[in-house]
Amino acid sequence: MKIKTSIPRKIFIVCNTVFLLIIALACIAPFINLLAVSFSDKTAVAAGEVTFFPVGFTTVSYEFITNTSKFFVSLLVSLKRTAIGVPVNLLLIILTAYPLSKSTKDFRARSIFSWFFVVTILFNAGLIPTYMVVRNTGLIDSIWSLVLPGALPVFSMLVVMNYMRSLPKELLEAAYIDGASHVQTLLRVVLPVCTPTIATVMLFSVVDHWNSWFDGMIYMNHIQNYPLQTYLQTVVVNPEEFMRNNTDLGGNLSKYLSMVSARTTGAAQMFLAMIPILIIYPYLQKYFTTGLVMGSVKE
C-alpha cells in the first residue's frame, strides 16, 4: 500500500507525536519526581525546588531506611508470601483447570464444578463475613491468611482452562490410546504445551501477591507481620508517625531527623518497593498483553 504524504497528513503526524509524547511524559514524570525527591536534600524538597533532578544530592534517606528494621522485616514477609503464594496458586490453577477443560461427555461433573467456581466471581460475601471466616480458621497473624483465602484465582484458572480446551483433540486421544492415565496426560502432554499460559498466570500471581496490602492490614495484628505494601500504606497515610517511631535508631534518631523528612524517606521506600516490579517489567509487558487478549477475545 502506497500513500502519498500530503501536507495536512504531515501536520497531523507531527501533532500526534507531540501529543503522545506529552501523554507519555505525564505517565512517567511522577515517578521521576519521586526518585529525584528520594535523593534530594530535605530543605530543597520542602521548598519545592525538586522537579526531575535531585537538588543537593544525598543518599541519606536510603541510609536511614537501611538503619531501620521495619522496611526489611516487611520486605521479608512479602518475599515469603510470594514464595509460598505463587506456587500454591499455580498448583491449584493447574489441578482445577485440567479436569474442567474436559468436555461434559468426558467428565460428567464438569458443569457443576465450573459453576461452583464461577459463582465466587459473581457474588462477593463482603468484608466482615470474609474476615470472620479467616478469624474462625485461626489464621490471623499467620502468613497463610495471605495465601489460603485466595489460593485459587478463578479468573486465571479460567484463562488456563480455555487454553487447554483449545488444544487439538488428537493430542489427548493419542495419549489415551497409548494408555496414559490422567496424571500422565496432564504432566507429559498438556503441561508442556501450556507453558506460555502458565507463565502468564504466574506473573498475574506474582504481581497480585506483591501488590496486595489490604489482607495484610486486616488479618495481621502485629506490624512485624505486615507485608511490604501494608507497611508502606501506614507510611503513606501517616508519614510523620513513621519518622517518630523509629526506636531502633536510638541516639542516632535525632541526627537523622535533622537530615531527612517524611517525604524524602517515603519517596525512597516507595521507589525501593517498585524495584521488583521494574525488574520483571519486560516479562510483564510481554505476557500480560497476551494473557489479557487471550482472556478477553475468544474466537
Partner 1 sequence: MFVNLKRKDRLLRDLPLYFMLLPAVVLVAIFSYGSMAGVIIAFQKFVPAKGLFGDQQWVGFQNFVTLFSVPNIGLVIRNTVIIALFKMIAGVIVPVVFALLLNEVRSMLTKRIFQTVVYLPHFLSWVILSGVLINLLSPSEGIVNIFLSKLGMEQIFFLGDPDVFPATMVVSDIWKAFGFGSVIYLAALTSIDPSLYEAAVIDGANRWRQTWHITLPGISSIIVLMSVLGLANILNGGFDQIYNMYSPVVYSTGDILDTFVFRLGIEQAQYSLSTAAGLFKSGVSLIFIVGSYYLADKFTGYRVF
Within 172-211, the residues that bind partner 1 by CB under 8 A are 172-173, 176, 181-183, 186, 207, 210-211
- Sole binder of partner 1 in the list 10, 11, 14, 51 (CB under 8 A): 51
For residue 45, which amino acid is it?
Answer: V
- The answer to whether residues 57 and 50 touch, using CB atoms and an 8 Å cutoff, is no
Q: Which is nearer to partner 1, 37 or 77 (CB)?
A: 37
- If one asks whether residue 219 binds partner 1 (CB under 8 A), the answer comes out as no
Q: C-alpha angle with apex 236: 230 to 240, nearest 5 degrees?
A: 115
Among positions 78, 229, 246, 265, the unique one binding partner 1 when judged by CB under 8 A: 229
Choice between 53 and 255, CB closer to partner 1: 53
Q: How many residues bind partner 1 (CB under 8 A)?
A: 106
Give the up-direction half-sphere exposure of residue 79: CA atoms within 13 A in the CB hemisphere. 8
Nearer of residues 252 and 292 to partner 1, judged by Cβ: 292
Grid look-up 480455555 returns: 162
Q: Restricting to residues 254-283, which ones interact with partner 1 according to CB under 8 A? A: 263, 266-267, 270, 273-274, 277, 281
Which residues have C-beta within 8 Å of that of residue 283, sequence separation ≥ 6?
199, 203
Mark the segment that binds partner 1 (CB under 8 A) among 46-54, 56-64, 70-78, 188-196: 46-54
DSSP 8-state class, residue 220: -
Report which DSSP code applies to 298: -
User: Binding of partner 1 at residue 288 (CB under 8 A)?
Assistant: yes
Cell of residue 116, nine digits: 461452583
Instruction: List the alpha helices (DSSP H) in the chain.
Output: 7-38, 42-46, 60-66, 69-101, 110-122, 127-136, 154-165, 169-177, 182-184, 191-193, 195-211, 214-219, 228-237, 239-244, 252-257, 262-296
Distance CA 162, CA 157 (A): 9
Query: Interface with partner 1 includes 223 (CB under 8 A)?
Result: no
Contact map string, positions 69 to 88, toward partner 1, x by CB under 8 A: --------------------
Nearer to partner 1, 184 or 252 (CB): 184
Segment interacting with partner 1, rule: CB under 8 A, options 14-22, 69-77, 189-197, 240-248: 14-22
User: Least separation, in Å, of the C-beta of 70 and partner 1?
Assistant: 15
Among 39, 98, 219, 226, binds partner 1 (CB under 8 A): 98
